[in-house]
Amino acid sequence: MPALAHKSMTRGSTVVSQRRTEPFHSAEEAWFWTMAALIARRDGARYTANSGLVARPCEPDDVIKCLDTLYRRRRIDLVHARIMRIWGERQVAPNPAYPGERCDCRLWREALDRLEWPLRIKGIVA
């Protein structure tokens, strides 16, 4: 069931947004959304939480923090993060049908499989 969007403070009173948040269907979908937001931010866009067509239960930095935690706990390596960044910027998953992308696909799957659980625990992925 979708949760209410984040609380915001306005002049001493707490206001809860009436928009319902919609979790992502997969870690891959959350990752592509995160990378799109980070690319937009890098290019100068100002990110405002839950101002898109679909309200999400997190901010892009929340997904990055989950990935960082996996790295710090040695559940993924730097090469996993590199592959996630490269293919996330392309907004497409590596295709194992192409010989040059097979290794990337394996690392991509490993990283996303390990990222799925922390995102589910936080309610980011349904």
Residue 7, domain member (yes or no): no
Mean pLDDT, the chain, rounded, equals: 87
Neighbouring C-alpha atoms within 13 Å toward the C-beta of 113: 7
Residue 94, domain member (yes or no): yes
Residue 12, domain member (yes or no): no
Residue 71, domain member (yes or no): yes
Q: What is the pTM of this model?
A: 0.81
Our measurement of the distance from residue 98's CA atom to the centroid of its chain's CA atoms, rounded to an integer in Å, reads 26
Q: One digit per residue, pLDDT tens: the chain, 126 residues?
A: 445 444 444 444 444 455 688 999 999 999 999 999 999 999 987 766 566 688 899 999 999 999 999 999 999 999 999 999 999 999 999 999 999 999 999 999 999 999 999 999 999 999
**Model confidence pLDDT, tens digit, residues 47-75:** 665 666 888 999 999 999 999 999 999 99
Q: What is the domain extent for residue 64?
A: 23-121
Total domains in the fold of the chain:
1
Neighbouring C-alpha atoms within 13 Å toward the C-beta of 44: 0
Residue 28, domain member (yes or no): yes
**Residues with Cβ within 8 Å of residue 96, at least 6 apart in sequence:** 102, 105, 106
